[in-house]
Structure 1
Amino acid sequence: MAKSEQQKTVKVQLVRSPIGTKESHRATVRGLGLRKLNSVSEIEDTPAVRGMINKIDYLVKVL
């Protein structure tokens, strides 16, 4: 339990609309927990999450 409390997290903000993007990119936005523009999601920093962020880097901003 102490180890999970020290997990690194990353904050991601949706800054561009996913309308008109590929379906897989829209699914990635939803998978990161982002809904509306400027919504912020704090998620665990793992290689999988980093890959998702890299895939839609033109839509999001890392805080």
Structure 2
Amino acid sequence: MATIKVKQVRSKINAPKDQKRTLEALGLKKMNAVVEHEATPAIMGMVNKVKHLVEVEK
């Protein structure tokens, strides 16, 4: 599997609770935080759910 970098670029303040939990599950706790994950279908689904709050690099 390929590795992706996920960076939080927008605040989660006005986001619904399920999107906040998704960001925490990805390991994103602060603005501009970057985490690396394997590009599994589960991770890609989580990234897709919060795509308006994050940037993805392959």
- Contiguous gaps of at least 5 residues in structure 1: 1-6
Higher relative contact order (CA 8 A, sep 6+): 2
Moved >4 Å (runs of 4+): none
- Asked which structure has the greater CA Rg, the reply is 1
**How much identity, in percent, do the aligned residues show?**
46
Match of 2:19 in 1: 25
Match of 1:58 in 2: 52
Matched residues in 2 for 1:25 and 1:8: separation?
Answer: 24
Matched residues in 2 for 1:30 and 1:9: separation?
Answer: 19
Matched residues in 1 for 2:3 and 2:25: separation?
Answer: 16
Match of 1:15 in 2: 9
